[in-house]
Amino acid sequence: MELYGIRGPAAPLASERDQNFRIGADHVLKISNGGESRAFLELQHEAMARLRAAETGLEWPRVAVSPAGEDIAVAGGHFVRLLTWIPGTPFAEIPERTPELLDSLGRALARVDLALAGLDRPAAHRHFHWDLRQAAEARQHLALLPEARRKLVEPFFAAWERVPWPALPHSIIHGDPNDYNVLVRGGRVVSILDFGDMVWSATVCDLAIALAYAMLGEEQPIAAAARIVAAYREVRPLSEAELDALYPLAAARLAMSVCYCAWQAAAAPENEYLQISNRPAWALLERLAALPEGWPTDVFRGRAAAREGLLARRRRHLGPSLSISYREPLHITHGRGAYLYDSAGRAYLDCVNNVAHVGHSHPRVVRAAAEQMARLNTNTRYLHEALVDYIERLAAMLPPPLSVVYLVCSGSEANELALRLARAHTGREGVLVMDTAYHGNTNALIDISPYKFNGPGGRGRPPHVTVLPLPGTGEMPPIPHDIAAFFCESALSCAGQVILPPGYLREIYGKVRAAGGVCVADEVQTGFGRAGTHFWMFETQGVVPDIVTMGKPIGNGHPLGAVVTTPGIAASFANGMEYFNTFGGNPVSCAVGMSVLDVIRDEGLQENARATGEYLMAGLRELQARHPVVITDVRGLGLFLGFEMAGEREATELVNRMKDRGVLLSTDGPRHNVIKIKPPLVFSRADADLLLARLEEVL
Ligand code: PMP
pLDDT tens digit string along 183-216?
999 999 999 999 999 999 999 999 999 999 999 9
pLDDT cut 90: percent of the chain above it: 88
* Helical segments of 627-679, H only: 648-660
With contact defined as beta carbons under 8 Å apart, do 401 and 566 qualify? yes
Average pLDDT over residues 536-561: 98
Atom of ligand 1 nearest to the CA of 526: 3
- Interatomic CA distance for residues 536 and 533, integer angstroms: 9
Residues, the chain: 699
Model confidence band, residue 5 (pLDDT cutoffs 50, 70, 90): confident
Beta-strand (E) ranges in 529-682?
A: 547-550, 561-565, 631-637, 640-645, 663-664, 666-668, 674-677
Tell me, what's the pLDDT at 8?
A: 81
Q: Which residues lie closer than 8 Å to 325 by C-beta, 6 or more apart?
A: 666
Burial of 332 (0-12, 13-18, 19+ CB in 10 A): middle
239-254 per-position pLDDT tens digit = 999 999 999 999 999 9
- Say whether pLDDT at 276 is over 80: no
Q: Whose CA is nearest to atom 12 of ligand 1?
A: 411
- Interatomic CA distance for residues 217 and 283, integer angstroms: 8
List strands edge to edge, sheet with 347-350: 332-336, 339-342, 347-350, 663-664
Tell me, what's the pLDDT at 214?
A: 97
pLDDT cut 70: percent of the chain above it: 99
651-687 per-position pLDDT tens digit = 999 999 999 999 999 999 999 999 999 999 999 999 9
Average pLDDT, the chain: 95
Q: Which residues lie closer than 8 Å to 509 by C-beta, 6 or more apart?
A: 486, 519, 543, 545
- Say whether pLDDT at 3 is over 60: yes
- Say whether pLDDT at 598 is over 60: yes
Atom of ligand 1 nearest to the CA of 494: 5
- Interatomic CA distance for residues 596 and 529, integer angstroms: 11
Q: Which residues line ligand 1 (CB under 6 A)?
A: 410-412, 415, 438-441, 489, 493, 522, 524-525, 551
With contact defined as beta carbons under 8 Å apart, do 624 and 643 qualify? yes
* Helical segments of 93-220, H only: 99-116, 135-139, 147-161, 204-214
With contact defined as beta carbons under 8 Å apart, do 121 and 43 qualify? yes
Task: For residue 561, give Cα distances in angstroms to 68, 567, 578, 589, 639.
Answer: 87, 19, 19, 9, 21
| C-alpha 439 – ligand 1 centre gap (Å) | 6
HSE, side-chain direction, 13 A CA sphere, residue 300:
30
| C-alpha 415 – ligand 1 centre gap (Å) | 8
Tell me, what's the pLDDT at 1?
A: 58
Q: Which residue has the higher pLDDT, 16 or 142?
A: 142
| C-alpha 354 – ligand 1 centre gap (Å) | 11
With contact defined as beta carbons under 8 Å apart, do 555 and 403 qualify? no
- Interatomic CA distance for residues 597 and 590, integer angstroms: 11
- Say whether pLDDT at 348 is over 90: yes
| C-alpha 333 – ligand 1 centre gap (Å) | 24
- Say whether pLDDT at 376 is over 90: yes
The pTM of this model reads 0.94
Helix/strand/coil for 429: coil
From 10, 14, 12, 25, select the one nearest 181 (Cα to Cα): 14
Q: Which residues lie closer than 8 Å to 305 by C-beta, 6 or more apart?
A: none
| C-alpha 186 – ligand 1 centre gap (Å) | 54
Phi, psi dihedral angles at 305 (to 5 degrees) = -60, -25
Tell me, what's the pLDDT at 608?
A: 98
The alpha-carbon radius of gyration of the chain (Å, integer) is 32
Model confidence band, residue 274 (pLDDT cutoffs 50, 70, 90): low
Q: Which residues lie closer than 8 Å to 674 by C-beta, 6 or more apart?
A: 496, 497, 642, 643, 644, 645, 651, 667, 668
Pocket mutation for ligand 1, best pick of 526, 552, 554, 560 (most atoms within 8 Å of C-beta) = 552
CA dihedral sign of residues 156, 159, 161, 165: negative
- Say whether pLDDT at 266 is over 70: yes
- Say whether pLDDT at 67 is over 90: no
CA dihedral sign of residues 378, 383, 389, 394: positive
Q: Which residue has the higher pLDDT, 239 or 1?
A: 239
Distance from CA of residue 406 to its chain's centroid? 35
- Say whether pLDDT at 448 is over 80: yes
Give yes or no for a cis peptide into 401 (omega within 30° of 0). Answer: yes
- Say whether pLDDT at 381 is over 60: yes
From 527, 679, 539, 543, select the one nearest 593 (Cα to Cα): 527
| C-alpha 348 – ligand 1 centre gap (Å) | 24
Tell me, what's the pLDDT at 277?
A: 54
Tell me, what's the pLDDT at 682?
A: 98
Average pLDDT over residues 83-101: 95
From 465, 468, 557, 563, select the one nearest 521 (Cα to Cα): 563
> 663 has which bridge partners?
349
- The helix-helix angle for 38-53 and 99-116 (nearest 10°) equals 120
Q: Whose CA is nearest to atom 5 of ligand 1?
A: 525
Tell me, what's the pLDDT at 7?
A: 80
Model confidence band, residue 474 (pLDDT cutoffs 50, 70, 90): confident
- Interatomic CA distance for residues 397 and 406, integer angstroms: 15
- Say whether pLDDT at 404 is over 70: yes
Beta-strand (E) ranges in 343-412?
A: 347-350, 404-408
Please, what is the end-to-end C-alpha distance for the chain in angstroms? 61
- The helix-helix angle for 363-375 and 587-602 (nearest 10°) equals 160
611-642 per-position pLDDT tens digit = 999 999 999 999 999 999 999 999 999 999 99
DSSP tally for the chain: helices H, then strands E? 21, 25
Task: For residue 53, give Cα distances in angstroms to 135, 188, 487.
Answer: 33, 20, 78
Position 619, amino acid: G
* Helical segments of 28-142, H only: 38-53, 99-116, 135-139
Q: Which residue has the higher pLDDT, 188 or 1?
A: 188
Atom of ligand 1 nearest to the CA of 489: 3
- Interatomic CA distance for residues 533 and 550, integer angstroms: 18
